[in-house]
Amino acid sequence: MKNDPPSLRDVLFLIGVIALGVALAIGWVTLNYELAKRYGSGAEILPVWYGVRAFLVERVDPYGLAVAEQIQRAVYGRPARLGEFPFALDIPFPLLLLFFPLAPIPDPLWGRAAWMTLSQAGVVLLALLPFRILEWRPAPWLIALLIGFALFWSYSLEAFWSSSFSVVLTLLLLQAFLLMYEGNDELAGILLAVSAMKWEYTALLWALLLLVVWITKRWRVVVGLAMGWLVLGAASFLINPGWLWPYLRAVAVNWRADAWLNTHSFLAEWFPRSAEPLTWLITALLLLLLLLEWFAAVRHSEAPRLLWSLGLGVAITPLIGLPTGPAHVAPLIFSLSVAIPFAWLRWDRFANGLIAGMVLLFFVLPWLATWFFVGIYAQVVRLFLPSLLLLLLLYWVRWYVVRPPRTWLDHVRRTLRR
């Protein structure tokens, strides 16, 4: 039986929906353009924008000192001084190819606006992704609460104003996990390939996903990863064969600047002689804890436990000694959303008030840190307390992860080994 062709009314309705979507997208980006003029510096996306413009429009080395000075003037209003971050482009050229669509944008503010729009969509997806994996449908008020929290959390705003990569790269890695979970291994490998940058955000999750590949022998993920790197690497050496040494030099310049904060810099304030061994001890204990949980999750191959382990990995990332800042805390929205369904199971009668209280606590935490602490203490509370609280919260609901009610487990169980 043949399907009837769409009527004129159906075609007009579809055109109207598309036009409305385009208009909303244009309005969203325009609003972000106005916000970019007033807030933040866009310091993380500017090196990329100036780099691709330098290579494609000005035909100069994107990793050169001249481009770095342009970025410094855009961020500081002058060349960087001794001790300030130099903002040399530190993304390998094969992955810089992915940002070539930014080159036609003549104004860096519009480039920031486009990236802000992508990041805002990303934090909403981070907040809702656990519900999709668990096939859990929360009440509409909870979805609205989480979306509002994700968009207006202080750390999310920091990520928007700085045009941070943290949200987008974390989302790519979590999407790679979801694709592996659904059996689409090659595409998961490609996402792993394109997310191999900004290791202060991605190193831990990237390693965890590769550990899954090794334990479960999902070699098609490796094939997708190799294909992605092969295609991008071949294209980069055809377009710019001399990129490698200037790139390594730019990475070294940024690394020597060491302008980011980490656990070592904070411990050095209280324990100047033992800060380094303490940092290594904390990092080793946290990684050991994560590895034990991750091996157990992969062995049981149950969606709730795998998801919980991913949330744990995101939560401890700021604590393991990698460079961090307020924008790096924004992906912890995912860890909070992971805990919510299990908290709902644990406190069924008081679930509404409990979850609203949890979200409110995390929302006001940055301002509480500013009001009650000063100097280095305020920075410690702002950067590390959310991670510590999420560790406690995730372990508080762990019993319902390991021993969920049978009816719910039967509904959401999935096997990773397909």
CA 278 → CA 258, 289, 314, distances in Å?
Answer: 19, 16, 21
Confidence of residue 152 (pLDDT cuts 50, 70, 90): very high
Q: Is there a domain that residue 366 lies in?
A: yes
Confidence of residue 3 (pLDDT cuts 50, 70, 90): low
Q: Is there a domain that residue 1 lies in?
A: no
pLDDT exceeds cutoff 70 at 374: no
Q: Is there a domain that residue 400 lies in?
A: yes
Instruction: Give the model's pLDDT for residue 85.
Output: 80
What residues make up the domain containing 208? 46-412
Contact 111, 49 (CB under 8 A): yes
pLDDT exceeds cutoff 50 at 414: no
Q: Is there a domain that residue 7 lies in?
A: no
pLDDT exceeds cutoff 70 at 408: no
Using H for helix, E for strand and C for coil, what is the string for the chain? CCCCCCCHHHHHHHHHHHHHHHHHHHHHHHHHHHHHHHCCCCCCCHHHHHHHHHHHCCCCCCCCHHHHHHHHHHHHCCCCCCCCCCCCCCCCHHHHHHHHHHCCCCCHHHHHHHHHHHHHHHHHHHHHHHHHHHCCCCCHHHHHHHHHHHHHCHHHHHHHHHCCCHHHHHHHHHHHHHHHHCCCHHHHHHHHHHCCCCHHHHHHHHHHHHHHHHHHCCHHHHHHHHHHHHHHHHHHHHHCCCCHHHHHHHHHHHHHHCCCECHHHHHHHHCCCCHHHHHHHHHHHHHHHHHHHHHHHHHHCCHHHHHHHHHHHHHHHHHCCCCECHHHHCCHHHHHHHHHHHHHHHCCCCHHHHHHHHHHHHHHHHHHHHHHCCHHHHHHHHHHHHHHHHHHHHHHCHHHHHCCCHHHHHHHCCCCCC
pLDDT exceeds cutoff 70 at 57: yes
Quote the pTM value: 0.87
pLDDT exceeds cutoff 60 at 240: yes
Stretch among 214-223, 236-245, 398-407 having the lowest mean pLDDT: 398-407
Q: Is there a domain that residue 20 lies in?
A: no
Tens-digit pLDDT profile for residues 11-41: 666 777 788 777 888 888 888 888 888 887 7
Q: Is there a domain that residue 11 lies in?
A: no
Number of domains in the chain: 1
Q: Is there a domain that residue 14 lies in?
A: no
Instruction: Give the model's pLDDT for residue 348.
Output: 66
Instruction: Give the model's pLDDT for residue 412.
Output: 45
Confidence of residue 415 (pLDDT cuts 50, 70, 90): very low
**% pLDDT > 70, the chain:** 90
